[in-house]
A and B are shown apart, each in its own frame.
Chain A
Amino acid sequence: MAQLVGIANEQASTPLSPSKSITLRISRFNPGHDESRKFMDFAVPYENWTTVLEAILEVKKHLDHSVAVRYSCRQATCGSCGMMINGRPRLACFTKISELDSDVVTVEPMNNFPIIRDLAVKFERLFETHQKIKPYIIREDTELESDEREFLQSPKEVEQYIQFANCIKCGLCNSACPTMATDSSFVGPQALAQAYRYVADSRDKGKDSRLKIIDDSHGIWRCHFAGSCSQVCPKGVDPAMGIQLLRGYLLGFKD
């Protein structure tokens, strides 16, 4: 472990209260060079509103610019900044240091995703499985051809799927899932919840083809309803609910 390095107060970009500081432990690993992960500790001052992402960016700015991290929107919208924060998958931009209630904040790359470097992980498989379930409305006609000009939905019909449309593809659910922990071919809670999102959409006619895709040995049957996906989802998608409702179609509970 490297020595503890700290930010001098006058260097920091915002006025900082010197009484509050945490140790930020950052996992460092470059698959191209390193044999194993190492942790580096940094003393970072914080305020009540400081997020974990801001603390990491302070480290990058003042102490070690080589820390690899991915982020973009800083407001829980782009889904880029997922990482393990004190052992649980969370969005770094949506997690305040003060809410963690700990003097040491450990950040590691998300589990079940191959590491690019340090905290940045590869998303290819997540996007692949997302694409696999055909994440779009399937039907023969288009709104342009129809007499009504657009496919109308009642508020009740919208409610059937709108919460699942909140998914930002951050991958936290796949990282928390116990099946994903051992089976990298599993389609995963993110994609399964999206399959439900389209199956439940009254405009969609692709239910049968989607059910065929997920009715596979590494498909929906591998979900054992542990619910960890729903517990970590930062957008209220509740993938566990979507998956069980989807399975209801395959088991004949729904049509």
Chain B
Amino acid sequence: MTRDENKEGIRGMANPGRYGIERVAYWLMRLSGLGLLAYFVAHIYETSNILRGKVGWDELLEMTQTMEGHILLTIVIAMCVFHTVNGIRVMLGHGGVGVGRPARPDYPYKSASQNYRHKIGIYSAILLAAVAMMYGLAVMFGE
């Protein structure tokens, strides 16, 4: 917290509780975005090892065949699927699709933008990521 501004800071931004599944989706989206960016950089480094010839390349591939490597790749699969599916939901929302129509608000004021369509989108993204993760685990550890 910046003392003068009383800003909630990164801890507040990243706190996924308090504001429902939409805030959880926001947090997962940011986290998976950063994770995929890190993977992208690592992936460029990884593939650049081909410059070290066959030996260097094989050495690096071995790393991905370890238990840790498999777990890491499974997480990457989950991040990728969640980020894609939720990203489509968010992009549609950003264009004003599925966010409801303005109307005279009546107490107790249910927000039309926080509707079941978006909630289904979020749960589907989480579910698909979990399924893809399990499939990845089955492929990598099921040999």
Given contacts A178-B26, A181-B12, A227-B23, contact A244 B113 (CB under 8 A): yes
**Are B111 and A227 in touch, CB under 8 angstroms?**
yes
A156 → B minimal CB distance (Å): 10
A residues near B20, Cβ cutoff 8 Å: 227, 231
* Residue of A184, A230, A238 touching B5 (CB-CB under 8 A): A184
A111-B7 contact given A178-B12, A228-B19, CB 8 Å threshold: yes
Q: How many A-B pairs with Cβ below 8 Å?
A: 140
Minimum C-beta distance from B126 to chain A (A): 16
Q: How large is the interface on A (under 10, 10 to 19, 20 to 34, 35 or more residues)?
A: 35 or more
In the complex, which of the residues A181, A224, A238 contacts B9, with contact meaning CB atoms closer than 8 Å? A181
- Nearest chain A CB to B24 CB, angstrom units: 9
Tell me the nearest residue of chain B to A241, going by C-beta: B113
CB-contact partner of B18 in A87, A233, A241, under 8 A = A87
Q: Binding site of A, secondary structure by majority: helix, strand, loop or mixed? A: loop
Interface residues of A in 145-190 (CB under 8 A from B): 159-164, 166, 176, 178-182, 184
Q: Return the contact of A182 from the options B10, B95, B104, B114 (Cβ within 8 A).
A: B10
Q: Name the distance in Å between A247's Cβ and chain B's nearest Cβ.
A: 5
Q: Is A18 close to B, CB under 8 A?
A: no
A-contact bits for B104-139, CB 8 A (1 contact / 0 none)? 111101111110001000000000000000000000
Minimum C-beta distance from A253 to chain B (A): 4
Interface segment, one of A42-50, A51-59, A113-121: A113-121
Q: Cβ of A159: which chain B residues have Cβ within 8 Å of it? A: 102-104
Most chain B CB inside 10 Å of its own CB: which residue of A31, A200, A226, A234: A226
B residues within 8 A CB of A234?
A: 109
Within 8 A of B (CB), among A74-117: 87-88, 109-115
Chain A residue with Cβ nearest B97 = A253
A40 CB-CB contact with B under 8 Å: no
| Residue picked from B30, B90, B96, most chain A C-beta under 10 Å | B96
A residues within 8 A CB of B6?
Answer: 109-115, 121
* Chain A 123-164 interface 0/1 with B at a Cβ cutoff of 8 Å (1 = within): 000000000000000000000000000000000000111111
Report chain B residues within 8 Å CB of A226: 19, 22-23, 25-26
Tell me, yes or no, whether A237 is within 8 Å of chain B by CB.
Answer: yes
Shortest CB–CB separation between residue B127 and chain A, in angstroms? 20
CA distance A115 to B3 in the complex (A): 9
B4 part of interface (Cβ distance < 8 Å): yes
Say whether B105 contacts A163, CB under 8 Å: yes
Give the chain A neighbours of B29 by CB distance below 8 A. 224
Residue of A nearest to B90 (CB): A225
Residues in chain B near residue A162, CB distance under 8 A: 102, 104
Verify A163–B111 contact, CB threshold 8 A: no
State whether A227 and B114 are in contact (beta carbons under 8 Å apart), knowing that A121-B6, A163-B104 are contacts in the complex.
Answer: yes
A73 within 8 A of B: no
- The 9 A-B pairs of least Cβ separation, nearest first, read A236-B105, A236-B109, A248-B96, A226-B26, A181-B8, A241-B113, A230-B111, A227-B22, A228-B19
Further contacts, 14 of them, CB under 8 A, given A227-B114, A253-B96: A110-B6, A113-B6, A162-B102, A178-B12, A178-B23, A182-B8, A184-B5, A224-B90, A225-B94, A226-B19, A227-B23, A236-B106, A236-B109, A248-B96
A-B residue pairs in contact (CB < 8 Å), sample of 10: A178-B12, A180-B8, A224-B29, A224-B30, A228-B18, A228-B19, A228-B22, A238-B105, A247-B96, A248-B96
